[in-house]
Copies of this chain bind each other. A is one copy, B any other.
Amino acid sequence: MDISEIGGEFALIERLAKEPVSKNIIKGISDDAAVIKVGRSYIVLTADTMVEGDHFSLEYFTPQQIGEKAVEVNVSDIGAMGAKPGYFLVSLVLSEKIQVETIENIYKGMRQAGKKYRIEIIGGNITHGKQLIIDICMIGEARKENLKFRSSAKPGDYIMVSGDLGSSTAGLNLFLKNIEGFSKVKKKHLEPQAKFYKVEPFLKYINAMIDVSDGLASEVKRICEQSGAGAILYADSVPIKPETKKAAIICGKNALEYALYGGEDFELVYTVSKENSGRVKGFKVGEITHKKGIRIIKNGKEELIKKHGYDHFLT
C-alpha cells in the first residue's frame, strides 16, 4: 500500500502512534513536542528533519540560512509547548559532492540561531547519503503550569494567531517561479523565526497552543481533533500582509490559500477563553465550537474546510 492511499504522512503518523505506557510520559506522539518527567523536571523533546529539495534548496538559501532555519523550526516546536529550549543534537546526512565550507556555514547558522536562545549543540552524528539532510533533536524544559497542549481547547474559546500568515509560502512560490523583487516576503521563507517571545507574557491565559508549520487550517484541525471540538474561522480576520497578497497575485495564487494551507510561518495559534481574551495579544481568527469539523466564513458564506496542509506524499 502506498502512503498516498492511506491519506498521506499525517495519516501515517496516526497509524504508527500508540498510547504511551510509562506514567512519566506526560505527552507522547501527538503534539509539537513530547513531554517527559525526569526527577522533578518537565523535559520537552522534539525532532525535525529538513531535506534538500523538499524543505530547502541550496539555489536560494545560503548554507547559513539553512542552519538557522533548522534550529528555528525546532525552537518553534519547543516554544509551542510553553517550554524553553536548552540543547540540541544535529544529525547530518551529506552527499559526497558537498563542500566542507558549506557544512561549516550550516553550523555557523545553527550556532548563530543557538546564540539567540542561549542554546548549544551537544552532540549528533554525520553520515553519508544521496542528499543533504539535517535532523535536529532539541531538548528543553518547562514549568508544569506553563505546559500547553493541543488538546486543551474549549468550545467558546477564541482562536488567535500571533502574527501574519502566508508570507513564507508566498516567498517559496516567488522563488519557484523565478520572480524578482519582494525581498521582504522572500526573507520570511529564508529566515523563519520562532515566535514564542510574542506569547510568553500572557502564556497563563492560553488554553491550547500549536505552531503553524502546515497552514492555519491544518493546525486548527489538529487542535480540534485532539480537543474533541470543531471550529469556525473568519476569512476576513486572517492576518495577511499587503505584500503577501501582491506576491500571491503575481504567482497566480490566492493569499488566503497560502495562509490556510501553506506552511512554515511558525506563528503560534492559541485558544483563549472569551473572558481572558482581553489579556492576550494577537489576531482573533475564529472560535472553537461544540460542532465538529472546521468551517470558514468567506464572503458571507459558511463552508466546511476539507483541504489539508502541504503533504509531501499527496502533492
Enumerate chain A interface residues (CB-CB to B < 8 A). 1-3, 5-6, 9, 12-13, 15-16, 18, 20-22, 25, 28-29, 33-34, 36, 38-41, 43, 45-49, 51, 53-55, 86-87, 89-91, 93-94, 96, 98-101, 103-104, 107, 111, 120-131, 133, 135, 137, 139, 141, 312-313
Check A135/B47 contact, CB under 8 A, given A39-B38, A87-B34, A313-B128.
yes
Highest count of chain B CB atoms <10 Å: which of A20, A121, A125, A129: A129
Check A313/B96 contact, CB under 8 A, given A20-B122, A89-B34, A122-B34.
yes
How many Å from the CB of A222 to the closest CB on chain B?
A: 14
Q: Is the CB of B135 within 8 A of A45?
A: no
Which B residues are in CB contact (< 8 Å) with A51?
93, 127-129
The chain B residue with its CB closest to the CB of A92 is B49
Q: Is the CB of A46 within 8 A of B9?
A: no
Q: Is the CB of B40 within 8 A of A39?
A: yes
Q: Is the CB of A15 within 8 A of B127?
A: no
How many Å from the CB of A151 to the closest CB on chain B?
A: 15
- Listed by A's residue number, 10 A-B pairs whose Cβ atoms lie within 8 Å are A3-B103, A22-B120, A34-B122, A39-B39, A43-B43, A45-B87, A46-B123, A47-B91, A47-B124, A47-B135
Q: Residue A12 contacts which of B9, B40, B121, B126 (CB distance < 8 angstroms)?
A: B126
Q: Is the CB of B130 within 8 A of A131?
A: yes
Which B residues are in CB contact (< 8 Å) with A20?
120, 122
Q: Residue A123 contacts which of B34, B125, B135 (CB distance < 8 angstroms)?
A: B34
Q: Once bound together, how far apart are the Cα atoms of A48 and B47, in whole Å?
A: 13
Q: Is the CB of B39 within 8 A of A128?
A: no
How many Å from the CB of A256 to the closest CB on chain B?
A: 26
Q: Once bound together, how far apart are the Cα atoms of A133 and B54, in whole Å?
A: 15
Q: Is the CB of B312 within 8 A of A123?
A: no
Q: Is the CB of B127 within 8 A of A91?
A: no
